[in-house]
Chains A and B, each alone.
Chain A
Amino acid sequence: MIPAQFEYAAPTSLEEALALLAEHGDEAKVIAGGQSLLPVLRMRLNAPEHVIDIGRIEGLRGIREDGDAIVIGATTTHATVLTDPLVAEHAALLTKAVHHLADAQIRHRGTFGGALAHADPAGDMGAPALALGAEFVIAEQGGGTRTVGADDFFVDLFETAIGEDELLTEVRIPKHTGWGAHYEKFVRVAHQWPIVAVAATLKAEGGTITEARVGLTNMGSTPLRARAVEQSLTGQPATEDAVRAACEAAAEGTNPPSDLNGDADYRRHLATVLSRRAVLAAAAG
């Protein structure tokens, strides 16, 4: 199927894009890479009157270092994130996770900001961004910006702190230089969303875990932190037994969906198993 008719605009500046959003209100939809939006439009699950393409705004693309953070522009493609040396050095968890996101063709078009703004609870970028304590820079009407922490950015299913007439411009990722990282994704078929996935990154000294961050994908209506696991891991040796014991708490406080791929109990079980695998792999490098 093809989308319903719409008017198309491709602004080349942020100001122009925000003005178009102000003018068209909830009749407009932003398109970045289109890898989530176009399937929705083609299925006619949504039919906006205006589609505003932010892909031609130069300033929204690219990855840079800024003090103790790396900054990823919203329209930077997954393929760029995957091969970027700054990301690999300071936020290895993103490199590990994006490797498992969709397939090569989708990664060439899909964007880091688009995946986060889309806020699919099964999306692969949310849990790593949450685990790394990402900060989201949102451009408001009137020229201002506001920065929202990861804990407040994800609001609900497909809902974030970005207002209808606002744009996500960049995401700041605090450097986690030297932290081990792993993304353990459980799927039945290639290039699809996870049934459950676990994002783990940790710092270890002399075989002891000194700090750990664990994010869960598809265990609720938003990505979640497994805080009980993080706390139990701290100060523990990175051994199979210690990690297994800590990860028993992985499903605490979660509210996973039940669907054709598995019911909620099955997902709770998966969360403990995948957490153990993710943490052990992260500890190994």
Chain B
Amino acid sequence: MTRISLTVDGASVSEDVEPRMLLVQFLREKLGKTGTVVGCDTSNCGACTVHLDGHSVKSCNVLAVQAEGSEVTTIEGLARDGELHPVQQAFHECHALQCGYCTPGMIMQSVDLLNDNPKPTEEEIRVGLEGNLCRCTGYHNIVRAVQTASGQEVNAS
């Protein structure tokens, strides 16, 4: 067992973990933060995306011990005082989800994308979300949600 201390969604946590424990397992099984989900076995789907020291990562492809001393933000840490984050609000308004399984990862990656590029083009949004798979929506409403959250006009079609 290795003791790790880090900040998760603004709270300091300290836990003993097996070195082989993945960050996503740590979040879900040790901290009960089941908002972050696992969708694949190959680090392809992006459903498990969280922010590690301010940058998006696939938490199924990071060891918990590698997050020692870091700051982690999950989908559960986005809302402030009961108010949805603008990207969460936009996903809600634009019907950017159907089953919702990809949504936590989609939103975390969209927030990262907008941090780097506050006014992305449609193409930049599609490329920026290439590491996140959605099996339901066909992506159009997800792109519209990101356009909406960035305060840009949504293309009509």
Contact = CB atoms under 8 A, between A and B. Distances in A.
A5 interface: yes
Interface string A1-27: 111111110100000000000000000
A98 to B, nearest CB: 14
A191 B56 contact: no
28 contacts: A1-B41, A3-B20, A5-B19, A8-B63, A8-B65, A10-B65, A31-B66, A35-B43, A35-B61, A38-B43, A38-B61, A39-B42, A39-B61, A41-B20, A51-B19, A55-B66, A102-B131, A104-B112, A104-B113, A105-B46, A105-B49, A105-B56, A105-B58, A106-B58, A108-B55, A108-B56, A108-B57, A109-B52
A53 B25 CA distance: 20
Interface string A71-91: 000000001000000000000
B76 interface: no
A220 interface: no
Contact of B55 (A5, A39, A79): A79
B69 to A, nearest CB: 9
Contacts of B65: 8, 10, 53
B93 interface: no
Given A8-B19, A51-B19, A108-B52, 7 more contacts: A8-B63, A8-B65, A34-B61, A34-B63, A102-B131, A103-B132, A109-B62
Contacts of A191: 44, 130-131
B61 A103 contact: no
B94 interface: no
Interface of B: 2, 18-22, 25, 41-44, 46, 49, 52, 55-58, 61-63, 65-66, 68, 109, 112-113, 128, 130-132
A153 B50 CA distance: 35
A3 B41 CA distance: 12
Interface residues of A, number: 30
Contacts of B2: 8
A190 interface: yes
A69 to B, nearest CB: 28
Nearest to B43: A39
Contact of B21 (A2, A10, A105): A2
Given A2-B20, A35-B43, A104 B131 contact: yes
A6 B131 contact: no
A106 B56 CA distance: 9
Interface in A90-115: 102-106, 108-109
